[in-house]
Structure 1
Amino acid sequence: LSVQQVRSLSDSDLVVFLGAGFQPAIEDAVSALNEDRALDVLEEIDLLPRSGDHEHEGEAEHEGGEERDPHVWLDPSNMTTIAEAVAARLSEIDPAHAEAYESNAEDLAARLDVLDAELADGLSQCDSRDIVTSHAAFGYLAARYDLDQVSISGIDPEAEPSPGRLAEVARFVHEHDVSAIFFEELVSPAVAETIANETGARTAMLSPLESRPSSGDYIDAMESNRDELTKALDCG
């Protein structure tokens, strides 16, 4: 973070952030703030264990504890929980506008409920339940909709998979007749394309929503993810 960004955080009435080591610079910056001016939304969610760190298995236990997956936003029900927590904290800070905060959170929750139901319905009757992804960002989505995530890399999208891991994923694709290898908009598709070329699968884009969508909003991006998944998994 720049000096200006740290100053901006310090001057904020409320800083909403992702903890659990996902945004360490922000965690450090808000550590000096009063507790009521910082909201770690990951504390509102039952976090899943990290999955897919094939190059570093056992490191978390060696360092004294199991690390957790921060990608909670890929389950719309978690986004409802987060929206409600943010509205509640804003209402405490700015009680004059509490009704508006609560109303906005309710409206968003209703839209997220519709999205959740559409995803559940669209992914309920599929010939496959296996999703092969560039990195292990989709654990919450998989858990919510009864899918099985197989990641090429671990939790870090920039990590390079080993040749052994590439061969392991390619075998999985062959053995389970996986039709699509998913890549992401912020990561080179080269590794996904390598496995696709070797196995005869196609590539498709699945957004982990780790940055602002280039167009539309969160719900639009998740609807696009639904469409890509239903095509890849041959859902009826």
Structure 2
Amino acid sequence: MRQLLGTAFAATWIATISWADVPRVATDIAPIHGLVSQVMKDLGEPDLIIRPGASPHSYALRPSEARALSQADLVVWIGEGLAPWLEPSIEQLATNAHVLELLALPSTTILPYREGATFEAHDHDEHDAHDDHGHDEDHEGHDEHSEHAHDEHHHDDHAKHDEEHESHDGHDHSSGDPHVWLSPENAITWLNVIAEELSELDPENASKYQKNAQEGIAKIQQTKADLVPQLSKIADNNFVVFHDAYQYFEVSFGVTAAGAISLGDASDPSPARIAEVRDTVRDLNVACAFREPQYNNGLVDTVLEGTEAKALILDPLGTNLELGSDFYPELLQEMGKTLIACVK
């Protein structure tokens, strides 16, 4: 018995030493935590800085989260475009850590912000042709808008939209839409980069990190292959989102939102913007609008008032999903199912 206990203790001690040698990783949001978890798998578990259910656009660190940053060997985060408040915390607390800013990677696909309240006439394939977002040209030169009863409203309120955009002090939209994790292509790219970073910090486990990354890539590719034909059936259906966080998902899966109540930084919309989205819901016979658990649902109710459109929760952060290595593909699946259920 004493020998068995001694053997068990030795095995536990060895496992503890092995765990201690694995880099400590801090991640900003749950989807990134999921990708890092996939690469690390049984070797270790990353720390999550922004708790589930909170908005990454503004947040106050808890002591445990600050401690996770200070102890990190590697910090993986989206970037200042999503969480401007986090950058000084990383600089002050994670002084000994490698920092992987995903928005700064040349391999990350970044789309420009959509500033307008409605964008159903915009073609995602023509983003590059819309210099400076092309909103003046979009509102003045697109004949498609004349087919909608709210076209005149678009023109009348365009100046108000410019004022609204200029009033968002502290929000830099020049770096593009920061909701880059909703592109499965970006996630696949990042899995390889995360594996390389961890391999550099922990060469002994490099082959495991690379193997786990390839497994994660296969999961995401299969998830997209399963979802694309399902979502193609609702490609022509109109829906409205609470804030403009979904265009990467839209581009990847061939669906398009008709508009967003709030800008991509989730700042409070102007009355003119709310009115324009409400007109769009009515004019296009929008079937569904999406709430988000992190934000004020009353604005969605205001937009849908007097219409037959329904509302469900579409969560780009996967608040109710279990953290772990399967988080990211489950997030894509959950979003796809919710879209189909709401729009059908």
Matched, 1:42 2:152: no
Q: Distance in 1 between matches of 2:233 and 2:88?
A: 45
CA–CA separation in structure 2 for the residues paired with 1:228 and 1:186: 17
How much does 1:161 deviate?
A: 2.0
Structure 1 segments unaligned to the other structure (5+ residues): none
Q: Distance in 2 between matches of 1:64 and 1:166?
A: 22
Q: Which structure is higher in RCO with an 8 Å CA cutoff and minimum separation 6?
A: 2
- Quote the Cα distance in structure 2 between the aligned partners of 1:57 and 1:76: 29
Q: Please state whether the residue corresponding to 1:173 is helix, strand or coil.
A: helix
Rounded to whole Å, the distance in 2 between the matches of 1:121 and 1:56 is 38
| TM-aligned CA deviation for residue 212 of structure 1 | 4.3
Match of 1:192 in 2: 300
Match of 1:52 in 2: 115
* Letter of the structure 1 residue corresponding to residue 88 of structure 2: D
Deviations 1:195-226 (A, max 9, x none): 223222111111111x6434463322321211
Runs of 4+ in 1 over 6 A off after TM superposition: 32-36
Distance 1:24 1:126, change over 3 A: closer
Q: CA offset at residue 181 of structure 1? A: 0.8
Deviation at 1:148, TM superposition (A): 2.4
Q: Which runs of 5+ in 2 are unaligned?
A: 1-60, 117-160
What residue is the counterpart of 2:88 in the other structure? 28
Check whether the contact 1:19–1:42 (CA below 8 A) recurs between aligned residues. yes
Instruction: State which of 19, 26, 30 in structure 1 corresponds to 2:79.
Output: 19
Cross-structure match for 1:164: 272
Quick one: structure 1 residues 215 and 197, their matched pair in 2 at CA, closer, same or farther if it must change by over 3 Å? farther
- Which of 70, 82, 97 matches 2:190? 82
- Aligned partner letter, 1:152: I
Tell me if 1:219 matches 2:329. yes
Deviation at 1:118, TM superposition (A): 2.0
> Which range is displaced more, 79-88 or 20-29?
20-29
**Residue 59 of structure 1, CA deviation:** 6.9
Contact 1:74–1:141 at 8 Å: present in 2 too?
yes
* Aligned-partner Cα distance in 1 for 2:75–2:182: 21
Structure 2 distance, partners of 1:109, 1:185, is: 28
How far apart are the structure 2 equivalents of 1:12 and 1:35? 7
TM-score normalised per structure 2: 0.60
Instruction: Report the CA distance between 1:5 and its aligned residue.
Output: 4.6
| Greater C-alpha Rg | 2
Match of 2:241 among 99, 115, 133: 133
Does structure 2 retain, via aligned residues, the 8 Å contact 1:134–1:153?
yes
CA distance in 1 between partners of 2:234 and 2:214 (Å): 32
Q: 1:7 to 1:36 in 2, by over 3 A?
A: closer
Opposite residue 320 of structure 2, the aligned amino acid is: P
Kept in 1, the 8 Å contact 2:109–2:186? The answer is no
TM-score by length of 1: 0.84
Paired residues of 1:17 and 1:26 also in contact (CA < 8 A):
no
Q: Give the residue type in structure 1 aligned to 2:328.
A: Y
2:306 is paired with a residue whose SS is helix
What are the equivalent positions in structure 2 for 1:64-79 lying under 5 Å apart?
A: 66-79=174-187
**Amino acid of the structure 2 residue aligned with 1:69:** D
Per the alignment, residue 107 of structure 1 pairs with 215
In 1, are the aligned partners of 2:183 and 2:252 still within 8 Å (CA)? yes
CA distance change for structure 1 residues 82 and 65 in 2, over 3 Å: closer, same or farther?
same
Q: Displacement of 1:37 after TM fit?
A: 0.9
